[in-house]
Amino acid sequence: MTNTLYLPELREMLAEGDHQGLGEFCTALHPARTADYMEGLSAEESWQVLSHASPQERIEIFQYLTEEKQLEIFAAADEHEMARLLVDLPADDRVDIVQQLTPDRAEALLALVPLAERRDIQRLRAYAEGTAGAVMTSDFARVDEKLTVNEALESVRRQVAELETIYYLYVVDDDDHLRGLVTLRQLVVSRPDTLVSDLMERDIVSVDVDADQQEAAREMARYDILAIPVVDRAHHILGIITHDDVIDVVVEEATEDAHLLGGVDPLRDGYLETSFLTMSWKRGVWLLFLFTAGMFTVMTLSSYQGDMKTPELEWVMVFVPLVISSGGNSGSQSATLIITALSLGHVSLSDWWRVVRRELTMGLFLGGGLAFFGFIAALIIAHPPHLMHALILPVTLVMVVTAGTLLGSILPLVFRSLGLDPALMSTPFVAGIIDIVGILIYVNVAILVTHYF
């Protein structure tokens, strides 16, 4: 995905120390595009290019570099320059970087950062990953409710340099209690002498600092807002989460769910950026776990092998993979549907009875459908010695598919009620359990039917 279009020119300009050319490169395009074109450069080269930009441009382009490149630069470049860069970065981004540096390097840089910023970084660092506190920024626009619109606009102009967004202004009292919100839109369209207290919205949406980042994302999506204030229990405003961070949160959480559903421990970085060792660990653990679970299918089949040796039941064995995959597939469907519905907030724990009833009916219905085709297949492929024996397959299918839908829906609900991530009930895991249940059902149905007919 690396754009190599300008690489030769950039390297040539670096070699020649072409200050003007590099300065123009940093100015001409949208900073995100400039960053794209620099992807192929090493960390040192990138920093050299950026040293030709104005401080403002430098910080903008830097923010669009990949996290990996940013870290490399912070790990290697001059300490004093990096400390200055740290001060200029948005409050939420610089904490992410400090968190990922080696403790030694982080200490060295923090020692060079002015006290106010150092305290801010230390404070934000303290919030656990995945909470609203960890994604919020402490830069937000404050405004006094006693101001007029005109005075409020003046105060915004004074604060603007340090702010990520000025579209929402938060009204706070002297103790930083969150009292209300005015938008820049309201300020711009209102008469200059209107009081902020007359404009401000008082019933505003906020999120607790310890809440899951997903809750913040859900609230912002629900209320269609640009930023959400983060508060503590006493309703002091601690920071805000902005719209761009929320998209990152949504994408991150969805990917995490997808990975868990596929039976992979979620990756921190991109597929190609994850090292072979990390990747094989994150996959190997699950594979081995599922393999061990799969041993139970072996033991189950093996313990019934004696009973199944009769010539009448020989054909039964060849249908084992079909039976267990049918159960596994119906279970995967249910697990996927319930897990995504839980994470979207479409279903909550209190709906458990509606869900279970629905999945039970669905299992009987879908199992019945497959049973019809299974009956025909058993007749055609297996030619069972007694017509009634062909019933073994359809009867099993109804039971196994229903077991699949029930387990696939109940297990994620149980995990959620235990306070665990329902996505841990991954599709392969549900399928693994159904494998064993399916074999048990199938073998016992076969033994019973042949006993009576």
User: Which of 76, 126, 344, 420 is in the footprint of a copy of itself by CB under 8 A?
Assistant: 344
Contacts of 381 (CB under 8 A, 6+ apart): 315, 318
Nearer to a copy of itself, 195 or 267 (CB): 267
User: Which of 268, 270, 307, 420 is in the footprint of a copy of itself by CB under 8 A?
Assistant: 270
**How near is the Cβ of 355 to a copy of itself at its closest, in Å?**
8
Nearer to a copy of itself, 50 or 149 (CB): 149
Site string for a copy of itself, 412-441 (x = CB under 8 A): ---------------xx--xx--x---x--
Nearer to a copy of itself, 81 or 151 (CB): 151
User: Which of 104, 174, 175, 203 is in the footprint of a copy of itself by CB under 8 A?
Assistant: 203
* 312 residue type, one letter: E
Considering only residues 230-269, where is the footprint of a copy of itself by CB under 8 A? 243-244, 246-248, 250-251, 254-255, 257-259, 261-264, 267
Max distance between CA atoms of the chain, in angstroms, equals 96
Q: Give dist(CA 351, CA 357) in Å, integer.
A: 10
- Token pair 């990520």 is found at 164
Q: Is residue 195 helix, strand or coil?
A: strand
Q: Is residue 302 helix, strand or coil?
A: helix
Considering only residues 275-314, where is the footprint of a copy of itself by CB under 8 A? 276, 279-280, 283-284, 286-288, 290-292, 294-295, 297-299, 301-302, 305, 314
* Residue 188 binds to a copy of itself (criterion: CB under 8 A): yes
Q: Give dist(CA 223, CA 183) in Å, integer.
A: 15
Q: Could you tell me the two tokens for 423?
A: 């996505």
**How near is the Cβ of 309 to a copy of itself at its closest, in Å?**
8
Is the Cα dihedral 110, 113, 118, 121 positive or negative? negative
Strands (E), 357-412: none
How many residues touch a copy of itself under the rule CB under 8 A: the total is 119
DSSP string, 229-258: EEE-TT-BEEEEEEHHHHHHHHHHHHHHHH
Nearer to a copy of itself, 349 or 420 (CB): 349
- Token pair 């029930």 is found at 406
Considering only residues 80-109, where is the footprint of a copy of itself by CB under 8 A? none
Considering only residues 352-381, where is the footprint of a copy of itself by CB under 8 A? 354-355, 358, 361-362, 365-366, 369-370, 373-374, 377, 381
Contacts of 213 (CB under 8 A, 6+ apart): 130, 131, 132, 134, 135, 241, 249, 253
